[in-house]
């Protein structure tokens, strides 16, 4: 149980042996009174890593308290620190130091996601999912999110775009079979079948990111180009086709380079939504 403490959630104060103090002070809470956070974005916990942390906790104790919110009498829910909580159970602890906060579900979700995003051991897909949840469920713009987590807006966009890749490729990113650089190059290809073929080639031949970028430029949008060239009497020259492929790879979008016989023309950069437009503007240093 929470030692000598009764917490009043509505007033945000704790009564500790007759002395009033703000909720937020560190208190030891019985592990049996704590439940996991249903909003926890992290789903994979490495057993070896947990056992190592449990061994450290046995030797050194818990240096950084977990953060919980009070649900009711002798009942708490983890906001952040689930890994420490799990390792403490493995270590055989009966109580754990915790920082008590009051939070509604949305603010709790936001705190849990932001806290977990800062972790060094999250894989790229977990980060992408966390970013997407913050944007959609906490009604944050990419700019607001980038400010809260201390990352560039383009970084946020690049992670979220990973979730547009086929599930097989997302699993490969999660399991670090391919890198973020490989994934970004694959996003420059607008055909799912080609993305999967290129992914298999990356794994089989252990291609570098530069190899994949070159492959995306050379093969990524050939079928799309042929269809357009059949409809357009003023076909692009080989040089302009290369330029169009380079631009498509750079912007991660199907760029259209239109040129008339007199040499004039225009570049069309499509975008799917406001988020995609912001990504393109970031690439243009706007």
If DSSP codes are grouped into helix, strand and coil, which group holds residue 32?
helix
Is residue 216 included in any domain, yes or no?
no
pLDDT reported for residue 7: 36
- Is the pLDDT assigned to residue 26 strictly greater than 90? no
Residue span of the structural domain in which 46 resides: 5-102
pLDDT of residue 88: 94
3 in catalytic set: no
pLDDT of 162 reads 92
Residue 125 maps to a domain: no
Q: Is residue 20 part of a domain?
A: yes
- Cα dihedral sign, 140-141-142-145: negative
- Cβ(181)–Cβ(216) under 8 Å? no
pLDDT at site 148: 82
Residue 21, pLDDT above cutoff 60 = no
Q: Tell me the residue ranges of DSSP E strands in 52-165.
A: 66-72, 75-80, 95-101
Q: 15 pLDDT band (50/70/90 cuts)?
A: very low
Query: Where residue 89 sits, what CATH number does that domain have?
Result: 3.90.1530.30
Q: Answer whether residue 77 is part of any domain.
A: yes
Task: Give the per-residue pLDDT at 120.
Answer: 64
* Structure token pair of residue 170: 């997302």
Q: What is the mean pLDDT of residues 159-170?
A: 89
Count Cβ atoms within 10 A of the Cβ of residue 148 and give its class: 0-12 exposed, 13-18 middle, 19 or more buried. Answer: middle
Q: What is the pLDDT of residue 3?
A: 42
pLDDT at 237 over 90: no
Is residue 139 pLDDT above 80, yes or no?
Answer: no
Give the pLDDT confidence score for residue 236 in this predicted structure: 54
Query: Tens of pLDDT along 109-135?
Result: 777 777 767 766 778 888 888 888 788
The neighbouring-strand residues paired with 21 are 14
- Domain assignment present for 36: yes
* 216, pLDDT greater than 70: yes
Q: What is the pLDDT of residue 41?
A: 61
Q: Do 83 and 61 meet the contact criterion of CB atoms below 8 Å apart?
A: no
DSSP H stretches of helix in 15-123: 47-60, 82-90, 105-117
Mean pLDDT (whole number) for 227-249: 65
What is the predicted pLDDT for the residue at 2? 43
Examine residue 41 and state whether it is found in any structural domain, yes or no. yes
Q: Which of 3, 6, 35, 82 is catalytic?
A: 82
pLDDT at residue 178 greater than cutoff 90: yes
16: left (phi over 0), alpha (psi -120 to 50) or beta: beta
Mean pLDDT, residues 20-32:
68
Tell me the mean pLDDT in the region 255-266. Answer: 79
Which among 102, 124, 157 is the end of a domain? Answer: 102
Determine the average pLDDT of the residues in 47-67.
Answer: 84
Which whole number is the average pLDDT over 264-276?
85
Q: Looking at 61, 86, 102, which one is the last position of a domain?
A: 102
pTM: 0.47
Q: What percent of the chain has pLDDT over 70?
A: 78
Note whether residue 267 is domain-resident: yes
What domain count does the chain have?
A: 2
Q: Which of 58, 84, 102 is the last residue of a domain?
A: 102
* Residue 145 reports pLDDT greater than 60: yes
Percent of the chain's residues with pLDDT above 90:
17
Mean pLDDT score across all residues of the chain? 78
* Mean pLDDT, range 257-273, rounded to an integer: 82
Q: Is 189 within a domain?
A: no
If one compares 157 and 190, the residue with the highest pLDDT of the two is: 157
Q: How far apart are CA 216 and CA 195, in angstroms?
A: 9
Residue 111 Cα distances to 43, 68, 253, angstroms = 17, 11, 33
């Amino acid at each position: 149980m929470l030692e000598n403490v009764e917490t009043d959630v509505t007033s945000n104060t704790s009564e500790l042996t007759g002395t009033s103090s703000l909720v937020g002070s560190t208190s030891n809470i019985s592990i049996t009174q704590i439940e996991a956070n249903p909003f926890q974005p992290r789903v994979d916990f490495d057993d070896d890593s947990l056992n190592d942390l449990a061994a450290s906790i046995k030797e050194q104790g818990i240096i950084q308290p977990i953060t919980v919110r009070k649900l009711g009498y002798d009942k708490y829910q983890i906001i952040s620190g689930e890994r420490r909580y799990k390792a403490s159970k493995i270590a055989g602890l009966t109580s754990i130091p915790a920082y008590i906060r009051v939070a509604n579900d949305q603010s709790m979700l936001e705190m849990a996601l932001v806290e977990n995003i800062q972790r060094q051991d999250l894989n790229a897909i977990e980060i992408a999912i966390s970013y997407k949840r913050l944007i959609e469920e906490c009604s944050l713009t990419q700019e607001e999110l980038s400010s809260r987590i201390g990352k560039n807006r383009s970084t946020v966009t690049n992670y979220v775009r990973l979730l547009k890749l086929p599930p097989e490729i997302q699993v490969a990113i999660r399991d670090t079979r391919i890198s973020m650089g490989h994934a970004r190059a694959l996003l420059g290809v607008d055909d799912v079948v080609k993305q999967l073929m290129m992914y298999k080639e990356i794994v089989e031949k252990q291609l570098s990111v530069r190899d994949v970028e070159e492959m995306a430029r050379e093969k990524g949008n050939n079928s799309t180009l042929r269809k357009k060239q059949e409809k357009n009497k003023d076909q692009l020259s080989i040089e302009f086709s290369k330029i169009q492929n380079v631009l498509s790879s750079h912007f991660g979008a199907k760029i259209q380079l239109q040129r008339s016989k007199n040499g004039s023309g225009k570049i069309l950069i499509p975008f799917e939504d406001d988020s995609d437009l912001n990504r393109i503007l970031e690439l243009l240093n706007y």
